[in-house]
Amino acid sequence: MSSENWLVKLRSQGYRLTDARRAVVETMAQSPRALTPADVHDLAKEQYPALGLVTVYRTLEKLEELHLVQRVHQEQGCNAYLAHADGHQHLLICESCKKAVYFEGDDLDDFFSDVGKKHNFTVKDHWLQLFGICEDCEKEK
């Protein structure tokens, strides 16, 4: 989804479109990897130098609420955000360059339900992430 659509969605929720929000949205929409609030601040300031870190926090909060971005959990920390995929998809993350790719995992739902049954749980949700090395980083070695 392009950053234009993100802006339309924000507007349709009654949020105003400001230069600060545009800078954060465009930064997030085009990033191939998950970004921390500080990362976003650094990158988006190139486009809108007056941007404050607090506004980054507040904008990410709204984008998460609208499911335009999602929080990504990693060993190094759990405060990085990535553009959200449509539907329920899972993440494959390169441990070297941090590039993130989504993949479908529909095949897994039955397996997860069975695991639940075995332990007398009703499974409501799941969370899956793969970590590895992408082709580009593999070549560089």
Convert residues 31-70 into a mask of x (bound to DNA by CB under 7 A) and - (unbound).
-----xxx---------x-xxxxxx-xxx-x---------
Contact predicate 89/127, CB 8 Å = no
Convert residues 92-121 into a mask of x (bound to a second copy by CB under 8 A) and - (unbound).
x-xx-----x-x-x-xx--xx--xx-xxxx
Smallest gap from residue 13 Cβ to DNA (A): 9
Strand-pairing partners, residue 80, are 72
Q: Which of 84, 18, 24 is nearest to 53 (CA)?
A: 24
Q: 3-state class of 41 per DSSP?
A: helix
Pick one of a second copy, DNA, none as the site partner of residue 1 (Cβ within 5 to 8 A by kind). Answer: none
Q: Is 16 in the site for DNA (CB under 7 A)?
A: yes
